Amino acid sequence: MSVPLVPPEVVDRIRAMSERQLSAEEFEAYLEGTRSADERRDMQEQIAWFLRRYPDPVDRLRWARKTYEAWMKTAPPGSR
Amino acid sequence: MDADTFDESDLFGVVQQSGARALLFGRRALILLGAPVLTADYDFWLHIDDIERFNAAFDADGWAADRSPAEARAQGRYRLENGHLIDVLVARVVPTVTGERLAFDDLWARRKQRSVGGALVSTPSVKDLILTKRFASRAKDAQDIAWLEELVKANVE
């Protein structure tokens, strides 16, 4: 099964949203309003998994590098 | 250590051997602490007087700086590259979006030392890492603050 590519213009739009510098008011509002209880629980579960799976910090860093490199090989052209 | 043979323990060994006052911050610091996030590069905040010794250690290891130490001091930042990328911040003081002024010397005094792959790595305290995420105040920085706050709740310091 092939994964449909995200169009480059969508990648550009997402990157622009993520990289845009927010005003102090926008930033505080983002901090206040972004996390539901479910999101916080999900983050806690991911942290617990990561620390359990890779108790040595150097292995966590290696996982991140290799995962990023693997992701880049399949990422749509605009995201490279 | 070229792009093909890159390993994190080698990288931190070079930083330690340089003797430079260098703080690992940015997303790699979050990963080190326990947040499963991804990023393309490394970020170090380096004491402005230690650029030469930091570069000398990396130069011997095949990395190249994209500007001279004088240019880096004038610009407040530079990059080291060898197929991988290290962003180096060298400002003495950086303001946050809410007007606080973070000084390298203060973060260095409060630094945490962590053993990573046989080397000692200095990072800002988690509280200071949260403040550094207010430098650029992008949406993704707010997300990283959320991760750091959850790390605190998980008793990661």
Subunit contact A50:B140, Cβ cutoff 8 A: no
Residue among B86, B60, B80, B57 nearest B68 (CA)? B80
Q: Is the pLDDT of residue A71 over 80?
A: yes
Task: Provide the shortest C-alpha distance from residue B154 to chain A (in Å).
Answer: 7
Q: From CA A24, how far away is CA A55, in angstroms rounded?
A: 36
Any domain includes B33? yes
Subunit contact A31:B146, Cβ cutoff 8 A: yes
Nearest CA in chain B to A21: B138
Determine the pLDDT at residue A4.
61
Pairing type for strands B93-95 and B42-46 reads unpaired
User: How far apart are the two ends of chain A, measured CA to CA in Å?
Assistant: 23
The total number of structural domains that make up chain A: 1
Three-state DSSP class for B78?
Answer: strand
Q: Is the pLDDT of residue A19 over 90?
A: no
Mean pLDDT of A50-58: 96
Any domain includes A37? yes
The total number of structural domains that make up chain B: 1
Range of the domain at B105: 8-153
Give the containing element (helix H, strand E) for A44.
helix A37-53
Q: Is the pLDDT of residue A8 over 70?
A: yes
Nearest CA in chain B to A40: B150
Q: Are B37 and B27 in contact (CB under 8 A)?
A: yes
Subunit contact B36:A47, Cβ cutoff 8 A: yes
| Residues with Cβ within 8 Å of residue B121, at least 6 apart in sequence | B12, B15, B16, B24, B32, B113, B114, B115
Q: Is the pLDDT of residue A26 over 90?
A: no
Q: Is the pLDDT of residue A44 over 70?
A: yes
> How big is chain A by its Cα radius of gyration, in Å?
17
Q: For chain A, what is the mean pLDDT?
A: 84
Nearest CA in chain A to B12: A58
Q: From CA A80, how far away is CA B6, in angstroms rounded?
A: 20
Subunit contact A64:B31, Cβ cutoff 8 A: yes
Name the E strands within chain B. 22-25, 42-46, 64-65, 77-81, 85-89, 93-95, 101-103, 112-116, 119-123
A36 shares contact with chain B (CB less than 8 Å): no
Q: Which residue has the tokens 């799976």?
A: A53
Neighbour-count burial for A17-38, b at 16+ CB within 10 Å, e otherwise: eeeeebeeeebbebbeeebeee
ipTM of the complex: 0.90
Size of interface A-B (CB pairs under 8 A): 101
Any domain includes B129? yes
Any domain includes A3? no
Three-state DSSP class for B84?
Answer: coil
Tens-digit pLDDT string for chain B (157 aa): 665 678 889 999 999 999 999 999 999 999 999 999 998 899 999 999 999 999 999 998 899 999 999 999 999 999 999 989 999 999 999 999 888 999 999 999 999 999 998 999 999 999 999 999 999 888 889 999 999 999 999 988 7
Range of the domain at A16: 8-79
Domain holding B57: CATH number? 3.30.460.40
Determine the pLDDT at residue A13.
83
Q: How confident is the model at residue A1 (pLDDT cuts 50, 70, 90)?
A: low
Any domain includes B78? yes
Determine the pLDDT at residue A79.
58
* B31 → closest Cβ in A20, A23, A60: A60
Any domain includes A2? no
Any domain includes A19? yes
Give me A27's structure tokens: 């930033």
Mean pLDDT of A43-72: 94
Angle subtended by helix axes A24-33 and B139-153, to nearest 10 = 40
